[in-house]
Amino acid sequence: MAPVAWWGVTRPHRPTAELPQHLEALFRRFPFDRSLAQDPLSCVLPYARDRQSAEIAGLFAATLAVGNTTAIRRSFAELEALTGGDLRGFVEARSDSRWADALPGFRHRWIRGDQIGFLALRLKRIYERHASLEELFVEGMRDDGFAGGLGRLSDELRGTGAAGDAAPPPGYRALFPQPREPAHSACKRMTLFVRWMVRRERPDLGLWTHVDPGELRIPLDQHTFWIAYHLGLTARRTRGWSAVEEVTAALKAVDGSDPIKFDFVLCHTGISGDCPKERDLTVCGPCVVRPDCLLWKGRRGAG
């Protein structure tokens, strides 16, 4: 059966009253071990014993989180190989004169080795003044909630522009968008990094202890956005910060203390093909959220 073009729907799809129970059932049944092996977070878990090492590995992995998960994990493994398996040592060895050529030939999609080298330099400068990236995030949260935390962290990663600071390479600043800027980016990679650091439950690390998991925002990638729209969690057609807030608010109504626990499940339901993004009863038949899905709305056998 041909897929239904989701942008052609003229009326917003409302979630069913049973959606909270269906989402909880989807979460309980989800094969986490299968999908964790495919997720960039699997690259970060070996660093979890040391907070600073985990932050460094996590930020590199989240920055590279563009494209399919196989390519992301492959690029992270290449980064590890080029740094001798010592990402923290790589950061600590950076200087104003030793970052541009630190990773010759490295490239992941449009992200270049000189940009990753400059990120390492920025991390070194941050750790000279702060014990953790969490400190920066919490400072920003005091002024403007979660979006303020992302903004503060992004500002420091971009570079302060202070006299004597090395200038970033072309395209570097765009790696760290902010939700309050005119583009109102969904900031997927940064929200993903913060999720890894904050959530206390599997599969996340829970290394940041001063941020409440209930304050997190969903890392809205294409898979999660598509499924969220079709479940009625948002009526927005564009994947910007307003959609992030809308989807997060809908998930908070399901679990106010840990709304972003559904992110991993929704994302990998799309990545794995468990959601084919078209009506296919052979795949969709066992899906517990099929009664809530816009593709099956009004269809016989949808329930």
pLDDT, tens only, 163-193: 567 889 999 999 999 999 999 999 999 999 9
pLDDT at 124: 96
Is position 49 within any domain?
yes
Does some domain include residue 194?
no
Spatial distance between the Cα atoms of 251 and 157, rounded to a whole number of angstroms? 29
pLDDT, tens digit, for every residue of 186-214? 999 999 999 999 999 999 999 999 999 99
Compute the half-sphere exposure of residue 285: CA atoms within 13 Å on the CB side of its CA: 3
Do 56 and 160 share a domain, yes or no? Answer: yes
Q: Which two tokens stand for residue 163?
A: 């006299």
> Tokens 């009253």 sit at which residue?
17
Residues 236, 205 share a domain: no
- Do the domain assignments include residue 1? no
Do 108 and 174 lie in one domain? The reply is yes
Residue 16 has pLDDT above 90, yes or no: no
Q: What are phi and psi of 107, to 5 degrees?
A: -160, 135
CA distance 268 to 224: 8
Taking alpha carbons only, the member of 59, 125, 140 closest to residue 94 is: 125
* Domain edge (last residue) among 179, 212, 245: 212
- Residue 1: pLDDT over 60: no
Q: Is residue 5 domain-resident?
A: no
Q: Is 279 left (phi over 0), alpha (psi -120 to 50) or beta?
A: beta
Q: Same domain for 53 and 175?
A: yes
Average per-residue pLDDT in the chain?
Answer: 92
Residue of 247, 198, 197 lying closest to 221 (CA atoms): 247
User: What band does 300 get if pLDDT is binned at 50, 70 and 90?
Assistant: low
Look at residue 154 and tell me if it is in a domain.
yes
> In whole angstroms, how large is the CA radius of gyration of the chain?
20
| pLDDT for 2 | 35
Q: Cβ atoms within 10 A of the Cβ of 122, count?
A: 24
CA atoms within 13 A of residue 58's CA, in its CB half-sphere: 27
Residue 76, in any domain of the structure: yes
Q: How high is the pLDDT of residue 165?
A: 77
Task: Determine, yes or no, domain membership for 74.
Answer: yes
CA 147, CA 151: separation in Å to the nearest integer? 6
CATH value at residue 14: 1.10.1670
Q: Say yes or no: 182 and 65 in one domain.
A: yes
Q: Is there a single domain that holds both residue 56 and residue 26?
A: no
Same domain, yes or no: 50 and 107:
yes
Residue with tokens 């202070």: 162
One domain, residues 57 and 137:
yes
Same domain, 240 and 91: no
% pLDDT > 70, the chain: 92
Residues 63 and 46 in one domain: yes
pLDDT digits (tens, 9 = 90+) for 89-143: 999 999 988 888 889 999 999 999 999 999 999 999 999 999 999 999 999 999 8
For residue 46, the SS3 value is helix
3-state per-residue secondary structure call for 96-115: CCECCCCCCCCEECCEEHHH
Question: Looking at residue 175, what is its pLDDT?
Answer: 97
In contact, 72 and 66? CB cutoff 8 Å: yes
Looking at the structure of the chain, the number of domains it has is: 2
- Establish if 106 belongs to a structural domain: yes
Higher pLDDT, 7 or 30: 30
Q: Are 80 and 167 found together in one domain? A: yes
Least confident of 42-56, 216-230, 285-299: 285-299
User: Which of 235, 233, 201, 202 shows the shortest CA–CA distance to 218?
Assistant: 233
For residue 140, the model assigns a pLDDT of: 96
Tell me which residue range forms the domain holding 100. 40-189+199-212
The answer to whether residues 182 and 264 belong to one domain is: no
Supply the pLDDT for residue 137: 98
Contact 103, 146 (CB under 8 A): no
